[in-house]
Amino acid sequence: MQISARNALKGTVKKIQVGSVNDEVVIEIASGVEVTAIITKSSVENMQLSEGKEVYAVVKSSDVMVAID
Amino acid sequence: MQISARNALKGTVKKIQVGSVNDEVVIEIASGVEVTAIITKSSVENMQLSEGKEVYAVVKSSDVMVAID
Amino acid sequence: MQISARNALKGTVKKIQVGSVNDEVVIEIASGVEVTAIITKSSVENMQLSEGKEVYAVVKSSDVMVAID
Amino acid sequence: MQISARNALKGTVKKIQVGSVNDEVVIEIASGVEVTAIITKSSVENMQLSEGKEVYAVVKSSDVMVAID
Amino acid sequence: MQISARNALKGTVKKIQVGSVNDEVVIEIASGVEVTAIITKSSVENMQLSEGKEVYAVVKSSDVMVAID
Amino acid sequence: MQISARNALKGTVKKIQVGSVNDEVVIEIASGVEVTAIITKSSVENMQLSEGKEVYAVVKSSDVMVAID
């Protein structure tokens, strides 16, 4: 499947923190660069996510903000 | 300012594509790893964004989806 | 690609309204039931969207609100 | 109330899955076509949602992505 | 219509900045406190928005971030 | 840090409702005008939020909808 979201960052699952409804999935997209996603428990199970698995962190460009110090 | 959004990815502005209302800002967050943000023209001007400037790509963890091949 | 977004509604492109930066894509997901997406012009071109093409309208469950009369 | 969100899909509550903070509300918008919303428990109570109730699934067009196989 | 979005801030349209696809609507929700919304041109027309009109700024609680100095 | 989100509404934390994964933070931005944010528990802890603390409610203008009666 190809999707209109502009950002599909390839990476590896580093950690999954289990919650009651949602889980936190930490994805390493480059050495020392991590992205945290909060997705539903059922999505984690459906995609059989586990540490070390290759995934994409997908973000719409309109959901990315820019900040400066 | 510190913000509740979980992801603040440090990077450098690589390209700014000017639009009528919104501009596309491409940010390099690691060698060969880019994130595209669409923000309003006035935000680009207020923060005086230009190529080479150090910025953060800020994304709420609930706005990050996970995908697998 | 499989994605964590819970809603992937199969449908057909009914109309594409071209804008300067974004295009409006109207998708018929059932007889008389339409969903409108606003995506970037480049996404429309990359996926070669045109009227009649089979697509999915993808929405995160946390982006769906519920209303009553 | 009339709202600027472009998509207001009329349907019927098919299932409500109770969570600790959020509930999952499955809405049938056409025969065999379901949309899942995650909204707060208090919203479910305030609107007295229950199976069979007529509701709208409301989604901003900028929150709808398009995907192809 | 009653909606699951938690924040419905009553206010008055102070300014509408017309764009090509989207318009910027500035809403005064308390003396000196303004909220800016970007909505589609067609929504502005459908709701016949104009300066001085009474409106609500509607925001899902999951779309509100918190920041500190 | 300066951020591209257009709305940064200064206010005071009025109430924090603790959840399992997320907390609800009610912010008073003007006399009698409240905004509710749902953010992760870890964000509340990292920013040491408590009742009476001065904060900003930050919202992207594209996440603000407009409604009329």
Quick check: C65 and E5 CB within 8 A? yes
Contacts of F43 (CB under 8 A, 6+ apart): B4, B6, E66
From chain B, the residues in CB contact with E38 under 8 A are 21, 40
From chain F, the residues in CB contact with D1 under 8 A are 67-69
Q: Is the pLDDT of residue D4 over 90?
A: yes
Predicted local confidence at residue E16, as pLDDT: 96
Q: Is residue F48 part of a domain?
A: yes
The phi-psi region of residue C9 (left if phi > 0; otherwise alpha if psi is between -120 and 50; otherwise beta) is beta
Quick check: E67 and B20 CB within 8 A? no
Report the distance separating Cα A67 and Cα E66, nearest Å: 15
Q: Is the pLDDT of residue E54 over 90?
A: yes
DSSP B42: H
Q: Is residue B2 part of a domain?
A: no
Q: What is the mean pLDDT of residues C49-65?
A: 96
Q: What is the mean pLDDT of residues E36-57?
A: 95
Buried b (16+ CB within 10 A) or exposed e, E30-40: beebbbbbbbb
Predicted local confidence at residue A52, as pLDDT: 98
Closest residue of chain D to F36, computed from CA coordinates: D40
From chain E, the residues in CB contact with B61 under 8 A are none
Sign of the CA dihedral with E37 first, then C55, C63, and B29 last: negative
> C-alpha distances in angstroms, A69 versus B23, C5, E30, F11?
20, 32, 30, 22
Quick check: E64 and F67 CB within 8 A? no
Q: What is the mean pLDDT of residues E37-51?
A: 94
The bridge status of strand C7-17 relative to strand C22-30 is antiparallel
Q: What is the mean pLDDT of residues D19-34?
A: 92
Q: What is the count of residue pairs from A and C with beta carbons less than 8 Å apart?
A: 34
Predicted local confidence at residue F1, as pLDDT: 79
Report the distance separating Cα F58 and Cα E62, nearest Å: 11
Contacts of B48 (CB under 8 A, 6+ apart): none
Length of chain A: 69
For D32-55, write each residue's pLDDT tens digit: 999 999 998 889 999 999 999 999
Q: Is residue B61 part of a domain?
A: no
Predicted local confidence at residue B59, as pLDDT: 96
For residue D64, what are its two tokens?
Answer: 């709808």
The bridge status of strand B54-59 relative to strand A33-40 is unpaired
Predicted local confidence at residue F52, as pLDDT: 98
Q: Is the pLDDT of residue C20 over 80?
A: no
Length of chain B: 69
Nearest to D61 by CA among A62, E15, F47, A24: A62
How far off is chain B from F20, nearest CA to CA, in Å? 16
Closest residue of chain E to D49, computed from CA coordinates: E4
Residues of chain F with pLDDT under 50: none
Nearest to C46 by CA among C20, C63, C23, C29: C23
DSSP F24: E
For B17-54, write each residue's pLDDT tens digit: 988 778 999 999 999 999 999 998 889 999 999 999 99
> C-alpha distances in angstroms, A64 versus A25, C49, E37?
18, 24, 17
Which strand ranges, in their side-by-side order, compose the sheet holding D33-40?
D33-40, D22-30, D7-17, D54-59, C65-68, E2-3
Q: What is the mean pLDDT of residues B5-25?
A: 92
Predicted local confidence at residue C22, as pLDDT: 84
Number of domains in chain A: 1
Q: What is the mean pLDDT of residues C16-38?
A: 92
Q: Is residue B59 part of a domain?
A: no
> C-alpha distances in angstroms, E2 versus B52, C60, C68, F33, F64?
47, 21, 5, 19, 16
Give the pLDDT band of residue A56 (cuts 50, 70, 90): very high
Contact B64, E62 (CB under 8 A): no
For A13-49, write each residue's pLDDT tens digit: 999 998 877 899 999 999 999 999 999 888 999 999 9
Report the distance separating Cα F9 and Cα F37, nearest Å: 12
Report the distance separating Cα F56 and Cα B1, nearest Å: 9
* H/E element, A41: helix A41-46
Give the pLDDT band of residue C46 (cuts 50, 70, 90): very high
Quick check: C4 and B65 CB within 8 A? yes
Predicted local confidence at residue E1, as pLDDT: 79
Q: Is the pLDDT of residue E11 over 90?
A: yes
AA identity, residue F38:
I
Predicted local confidence at residue C19, as pLDDT: 82
What is the CATH classification number for the domain harbouring A42?
2.40.50.100
Chains in contact with E, where contact means 3 or more Cβ–Cβ distances below 8 Å, are: B, C, D, F
Q: Is residue E46 part of a domain?
A: yes
Report the distance separating Cα A69 and Cα A38, nearest Å: 26
Q: Is residue C27 part of a domain?
A: yes
Predicted local confidence at residue A63, as pLDDT: 94
Q: Is residue A19 part of a domain?
A: yes
For residue B66, what are its two tokens?
Answer: 């996970």
The phi-psi region of residue F42 (left if phi > 0; otherwise alpha if psi is between -120 and 50; otherwise beta) is alpha
Q: Is residue C69 part of a domain?
A: no
Residue D51: which domain range? 7-58
Q: Is the pLDDT of residue A1 over 90?
A: no
Q: Residue F30 pairs with which residues in a beta bridge?
A: F33
